[in-house]
Structure 1
Amino acid sequence: VFMEEVAQQSMLQTVRSFLQLYTSMSLEKLAEFMNTTVDDLEQKLLCFKHKMMNVVCKKGNSGLDGEFQSESEVDFFIDLGMIHIADTKVDARYGEYFINQIHKFNEMHRTIKSINI
């Protein structure tokens, strides 16, 4: 059982790395990249979804009373032979970018304000 889990976890890293590269692609193309069949790829994708789900408990509730949430940085769905991929960490990246721009603007504003013309 342990070795099966190790094999599944090592395969998940490969799936994750391909999913982070694209926003959408056909299952056939992804299966070709991963040197596998479409049926095997679908099993690997389901395994990825399953392994990345965790029960998250609310404060004060029982450890078993929680809701499932994905802990993966990428999410995807399959529609008509196409896999559509979304980066779930995009918001944090955009937020960090805007905060950095605000700091740069404030520094520039202070510099301009200190210049006597």
Structure 2
Amino acid sequence: YFDEKSVANLLRSYLKNFNKNKAETVFIICSDGTINMADFSGLNAIKSDFNAVDDLFLLAAADIIIGSDSTFGALASYFGNLPFIVFNRPLDWNFYKDKKYFFENKKCTTAHF
């Protein structure tokens, strides 16, 4: 389980490890639960208010998916042909550095297409 503060720290780590500009990178938070957006202060982050199907295709239209080890993120990655960075402790950023498209992610234990 990753709480909002842990997720926000992972997103900050993503910006650093992938040399992304914080102002030019938008994080879309999709969840079926309540999210404390105050924990994402300083990040360009918005919470989706769409339903699950719309969120799935919203994620599929992104550049990359960063999320929990779930079939939801894996399916969105497959639909969008995008890499899926799975939250782990510790997170192995180097494993994801060369990933540009969907791949069978050994760190995703929920589904393999």
Higher Rg: 1
Same fold by TM (over 0.5)? no
**What is the TM-score of this pair, normalised by structure 1?**
0.20
TM-score (norm: length of structure 2): 0.21
Indicate the structure whose relative CO is greater, using CA pairs within 8 Å and at least 6 residues apart: 1
